[in-house]
Amino acid sequence: MEPLYTLRGVTKLFQRGPTTVRALDGIDLEIQPGQFVALEGPSGSGKTTLLQLLGALDRPTAGDVWFEGADLVGLPDHELAELRLRSFGFVFQQFNLIPTLTAVENVEVKLIPSGGDRARALQLLDEVGLAERADHLPAHLSGGEQQRVAIARALSVEPRVVLADEPTGNLDSATGGEIIDLLSKLADEHGSTVIVATHDSELAARAPQRLAMRDGRLVGNPAPAPA
């Protein structure tokens, strides 16, 4: 099976005043289709930067990033934008819902480029257990419910990859565990690869594959989740 992602020698530098920050330092990585991967590490370890490169939100300073045989480093901006729209679903710590739109409208707005689909949006809310909350505004939903809406929105375009950056960071541990389990379940049902960045080792342990990051590097061997 061909890897979904292949990264070779990936380095990302940021300039902060006179200081050069090496956010990623020679990352070599392959991710297979259908995997559920946790990028685990403390703040500043490089996991968010790596997630941004995997989602075609940024380009490396050096190295190669290949996705389904496409060179993400060399693709023009308009092709990267189309790839982000059609192939990637994003879930963030802050939920990023539009406060003036209901739950179903927040999912439906993601489908506007393809003509919009209220029935599809309602189906996805049902899958995440929020069918009865479809007409509620984000302010009337709990944090866990808002993140479920965000997951439904991310899955609305049937993405090849779901990229989640600290998706449980604003949730209590029990709700966070439910969100990770839901991501795993839905990704399996939809055939998506899921890559989650988290600082929480207990949540990372729920993923079948764990990649530990420190100081911009992958450290140790990928750790399987306990049986």
pLDDT score for 225: 42
SS3 150: helix
- Number of domains the chain is built from: 1
Q: Tell me whether residue 131 is in a domain.
A: yes
Instruction: Name every residue whose Cβ is closer than 8 Å to that of residue 57 and which is 6 or more positions away in sequence.
Output: 84
For the record, the structure tokens of 221 come out as 């061997």
pLDDT at 227 over 50: no
Do the Cβ atoms of 205 and 176 come closer than 8 Å? Answer: no
Task: Identify the CATH number of the domain in which residue 202 sits.
Answer: 3.40.50.300
pLDDT at 223 over 50: no
Q: How many CB atoms lie within 10 A of CB 134?
A: 20
pLDDT score for 112: 77
- Average of per-residue pLDDT across 172-201: 88
**Which residue is it, tokens 């990770």?**
180
pLDDT at 18 over 70: yes
pLDDT score for 220: 67
**Which residue is it, tokens 């929480």?**
200
Percent of the chain with pLDDT over 90: 63
Q: pTM to 2 decimals?
A: 0.89
- Average of per-residue pLDDT across 6-28: 93
Q: Tell me whether residue 13 is in a domain.
A: no
Q: Tell me whether residue 108 is in a domain.
A: yes
- Average of per-residue pLDDT across 60-87: 93
Q: Tell me whether residue 63 is in a domain.
A: no
pLDDT score for 49: 95
Q: Tell me whether residue 103 is in a domain.
A: yes
pLDDT score for 222: 45
Q: Tell me whether residue 28 is in a domain.
A: no
Query: Quick one: CA torsion of 198, 200, 206, 207, rounded to 10 degrees?
Result: 30
pLDDT score for 183: 86
> Using CA atoms, how far apart are residues 162 and 18, in angstroms rounded to an integer?
36
Do the Cβ atoms of 166 and 134 come closer than 8 Å? Answer: no
Q: Tell me whether residue 5 is in a domain.
A: no
**Which residue is it, tokens 């944090």?**
143
Q: Tell me whether residue 144 is in a domain.
A: yes
